[in-house]
Amino acid sequence: MDTILVANAGSSSVKFEVFGVNQPGGLSSQLEGKIEGVGTKPDLTAVSAEGKVLVERTYTNENVPHVPAALHTVGAWLRDELHIHPIAVGHRVVHGGPEFDQPVLVTEEVLRRLERYIPLAPLHQPHNLEPIRSIMVNRPGLPQVACFDTAFHRKHPAVADYYAIPEHFHAEGVRRYGFHGLSYEYIAARLLEVAPGIARKKVIVAHLGSGASMCALKDGQSIESTMGFTALDGLPMGTRAGQIDPGVVLYLIEQKGVSPAEVQHLLYYDCGLKGLSGISNDMRELEASGDARAAFAIGYFVYRIALFTGTLAAALGGLDAFVFTAGIGENSPSLRARVASKLSWLGVKLDEAANSGRKQLISAPESGVAVYVIPTDEELMIARHTLALVRPSI
């Protein structure tokens, strides 16, 4: 069976999934895994689609010193021990800038253009691109496809895309992009199966994880998002601040003497739930804590979700459905209940048993807005795009 490898590289880890290509062009997950602790204590783990442990292995830093080496290690394990030889590799790339509004086969020129967007996503972009470059050098004949978190939002109306700054900055690429697009694209497609009567209506999707954002869908298309020029904007996240007055940044630089590099580190790594609670960026730890600061951080997160729901509902001109997805959205019934309570003014009413029972539809029959919990699958979305580009006739 032909296979496609999907890679999602971070600063010290590589998540991966192998999909089998079924006839007539369907995809099925064969295995998934990760190699994490790169630079400290690299560990490779993977399980089959049935949940069988395939590997649990620790490496030395000398053998896996960086992320490209980690992906090389994964590739060698797949080839040498499982005899898997993918026909292509699909990569999640956070930022496609103003020019990439569709997945693309990677060439040297494409890679050079994508490197220009590293300053717009410094937490993600360089780590997304490193493995692509490595495979290009070591496996030059293997097709690679870049799939962008920004692409799904590129059809926003101009009024949602612009900042109120001089036009020449917009022309240079200073505009609102939106992120988590692969997740939203998957949810939009999944809604056609789960709730076809709702899928083409006015829907807000809340992608709530360590990175968090919200998206307004109309007729299955993104028309507005809480994230903007970078993945810092909008909701507070695990360690990112979310929406903040630009004057705060100016104050830190001009009055407190904080360097731009230090401000960048602060906003990406030391804010959000971690900064508010002083305890953790992990919602599970915060929900289990009895500390008042943890409770405040959760309450703040819920409050901002409710505020942005009002904003996105205004952009849509109403609201027919609300979807929770990603790690927190899929796994925290208590947070979903608190958000729903804040949205009662929109007519939202939860079915408590359905919410706590891990059901897909969790709103009560009398609710004015349908509320769903739909697990996202960005890897499958990447595999679909990759297959479409390398096997366009399928």
Residue 120 is given by DSSP the state: G
Element (H, E) at 81: helix 67-82
Average pLDDT, integer, range 140-148: 95
- Mean residue pLDDT of the chain comes to 94
E strand map for 219-282:
221-225
Q: Which of 90, 159, 76 is closest to 377 using CA atoms? A: 90
CA 35/CA 64 separation, integer angstroms: 10
Rounded to a whole number of angstroms, the CA Rg of the chain reads 21
CA 388/CA 186 separation, integer angstroms: 15
Instruction: Provide the angle, in degrees to the nearest 10, between the axes of the packed helices 181-194 and 378-390.
Output: 90
- Interval 244-263: pLDDT, tens: 999 999 999 999 999 999 99
The predicted pLDDT at position 393 comes to 62
- Interval 326-383: pLDDT, tens: 999 999 999 999 999 999 999 999 999 999 999 999 999 999 999 999 999 999 999 9
> Strand, helix or coil at 278?
coil
- Interval 24-54: pLDDT, tens: 768 999 999 999 888 788 999 999 999 999 9
pLDDT of 11 strictly over 80: no
pLDDT of 394 strictly over 70: no
By percentage, how much of the chain surpasses pLDDT 90? 84
Residue 213 is given by DSSP the state: E
Catalytic residues: 149
CA 95/CA 107 separation, integer angstroms: 16
Is 216 within 8 Å of 315 (Cβ atoms)?
yes
CA 18/CA 5 separation, integer angstroms: 5
Token duo for residue 208: 């709530």
- Interval 269-301: pLDDT, tens: 999 999 999 999 999 999 999 999 999 999 999
Is 17 within 8 Å of 387 (Cβ atoms)?
no
pLDDT of 193 strictly over 90: yes
Is 184 within 8 Å of 207 (Cβ atoms)?
yes
Q: Backbone phi, then psi, for 334, in 5-degree steps? A: -65, -40
CA 203/CA 216 separation, integer angstroms: 6
Average pLDDT, integer, range 129-145: 92
Token duo for residue 212: 């968090």
